[in-house]
Amino acid sequence: MKLHFDHALVARLLAHAQAASEHSPTYDQLVDPAFLKAGVSSRHPTGADVDRTRIPAGLMLVGDHGVYLMSNGYPGLSDAEGQANLVAYAVEADPRTCPDDWYDVKRASFGGDDGAEFLSADTIRKALEATAGNRLWIDVTPARISCPYLASPQKARSGQPDGGSGKAKSE
């Protein structure tokens, strides 16, 4: 299911993530030994066990009370009311504007469980470039996440598709 996001707000979230020197982990990153502090070998690590400087910059696609993107930059980017973690809701799954439909869209796209998936800064940057002048879209199913991308100039010259409708699987 294609979910659409405010282009400028996603660009702002990405800029925050890229400017941050530390990043918050998703659950998958929390349990990945590559992101743990030196000497930590816990089977059940906590946020205190993670070296936030090892987490790469990017956005989290979150399925919870709606579906939204948020910066993984630490500390979080505050919203207009000063609350931590400004988010960009999917137009189709925003509980503020779609109070009767957001839950069904969340289940159809993200699945029944709540969670967060990491999308690398490079993936988001390419998706923003590919959707310039329009809303950013991300195709989300419970099993797969894909974003639009533009083919590199070399691929376009070699007869490969121009990438305008291509997809790049998230990392």
* Element at 27 (helix H, strand E): helix 27-30
Provide the whole-model pTM: 0.85
* Element at 13 (helix H, strand E): helix 7-19
Kindly give the confidence (pLDDT) of every residue in the chain, 171 residues in length, as a single tens digit, with 9 standing for 90 and above.
999 999 999 999 999 999 999 999 999 999 999 999 998 887 788 889 999 999 999 999 999 999 999 999 999 999 888 888 899 999 999 999 999 999 999 999 999 999 999 999 999 999 999 999 999 999 999 999 999 987 655 544 444 333 333 333 343
Give the start-to-end residue ranges of the domains of the chain: 2-36+44-146
The DSSP secondary-structure symbol of 56 reads P
* 85 phi/psi in degrees, rounded to 5: 70, 75
